[in-house]
Structure 1
């Protein structure tokens, strides 16, 4: 079930805005799909040599995502450092821009709902960059847990959005503990860490505070167009918190709650205190 709230009013796009959106859109598409072609070619060599491990191709993903922000005109800042220990990453989810923002500063592999794999263009990018797709079906829970364990033991940092949905980027919803169960299987809890990360969006001057938020029934196309057409953009901050040792927690619920508190504490808005 999706979290929902009143959507911000739609803004009229001027003729210059349409031109700006076209130029940025073409540049962004060329960057993303040029990077995708390069990644797929390099993967032809990387896969036979390294199998599940990907020592080279994540660098292409990071470079593409980092270069996306100058194209959009958004300021991008990072505080703290991504961990190098075996483990996973959890973050709040406020926008489709999270994918670019979180990929731009670390080597990660997203965990996403299975439907994304069928989305035009986005699905191709997600599959190529090693996204793990899951179904909300109890019958497949054991198989998915095995996949998580295999990827984590291979040194992949899987990134989860434990809220289970995106928001208006002004709050953190309670973390669902279900996916944390995978971290307590077959001794993983004794060797791995979880790193909480907070994504903070600063809207453009004089725009709605939820400008970059994407949630509920909002369509991707109009939201993308709005962002591309914006003359003066805002900023996004990525805040890395101290990693949590899974072994220090007795249950998935305790671990989920501690991770949620860390992510929530990094969000400066009053809305983040709502439960």
Structure 2
């Protein structure tokens, strides 16, 4: 039965994701000449694909609060590859990722095609990356940052790194942008490991994907949108990062099983 669920969910999911991507790229061919960096049409395709993906997976999706309408960036905790679907299911965002991801087979091509911004640790690229951030943010794109720098097991939030927040404090952006903290909460089904949706450390993607496709019953993902913060209200990137971390942490919803697991000695 587990393998039957893998096939019955995995095949339609693959058609949905890659079929939706083909449609998006075709629409983008028309959208780009008229609107350039602005994307008034293709975000609707992304949202439909992501919401439909949870229906196919059998995972309940809930959202609380409202995605901001102001220009700015989104920061969230990072738990799993499912974050991509969860964060795009309600409001289109564009992920900021390390440059290595662009070279990953399949995933890199998918990320480039959907407008992901790649960052390079090479100091020689710093100026060009700053200019790209400014261009995308001022164009109204909601860039999504994972300030933890890596994914967690889904029941804890790691300390936020303040490095990426420096991009918001340039003279061109500081007075124009807001940052919206968002909390991703994964609830495993009763009796399952509370960390079953977390994808972290040296876990391989394939086995985790198969485990998620085969799970029965499935659990729930809740996306909590907190009130946006004005960048200009903060004296430094460290202050903004610390405040965002506290807000995201406050919104994490944990089951009694997850709370018990956290209380165990590590």
Considering the TM-score relative to the shorter chain, is it more than 0.5?
Answer: yes
Q: How many residues align?
A: 257
User: Which whole-Å CA distance do the structure 2 matches of 1:68 and 1:193 have between them?
Assistant: 29
User: Which whole-Å CA distance do the structure 1 matches of 2:54 and 2:218 have between them?
Assistant: 10
Note the residue ranges of structure 2 that are not aligned, 5 or more in a row.
none
Matched, 1:26 2:14: no
Matched, 1:241 2:222: no
Matched, 1:63 2:48: yes
Matched, 1:98 2:83: yes
How far residue 50 of structure 1 moved from its aligned partner, in angstroms, is 0.6
Q: Is the 8 A contact 1:109 1:131 kept in 2?
A: yes
Q: Is the 8 A contact 2:72 2:177 kept in 1?
A: yes
Q: Is the 8 A contact 1:198 1:238 kept in 2?
A: yes
Question: Secondary structure in 2 aligned to 1:190?
Answer: coil
Q: Is the 8 A contact 1:77 1:236 kept in 2?
A: yes
- Residue among 139, 142, 164 paired with 1:157: 142
TM-score by length of structure 1 reads: 0.91
Question: Secondary structure in 2 aligned to 1:83?
Answer: coil
Matched, 1:168 2:158: no
Correspondence for 1:189? 174
Correspondence for 1:122? 107
Q: Is the 8 A contact 1:177 1:252 kept in 2?
A: yes
Alpha carbon RMSD of aligned pairs, Å? Answer: 1.2
Q: Is the 8 A contact 1:58 1:129 kept in 2?
A: no
User: Which whole-Å CA distance do the structure 2 matches of 1:85 and 1:186 have between them?
Assistant: 18
How far residue 52 of structure 1 moved from its aligned partner, in angstroms, is 1.0
User: Which whole-Å CA distance do the structure 1 matches of 2:124 and 2:109 have between them?
Assistant: 26
Correspondence for 2:165? 180
Moved segments of 4+, more than 6 Å: none
User: Which whole-Å CA distance do the structure 2 matches of 1:139 and 1:259 have between them?
Assistant: 29
User: Which whole-Å CA distance do the structure 2 matches of 1:56 and 1:231 have between them?
Assistant: 36
User: Which whole-Å CA distance do the structure 1 matches of 2:233 and 2:125 have between them?
Assistant: 28
Mapping for residues 2-17 of structure 1, pairs under 5 Å: 16-17=1-2
Note the residue ranges of structure 1 that are not aligned, 5 or more in a row.
1-15
How far residue 120 of structure 1 moved from its aligned partner, in angstroms, is 2.4
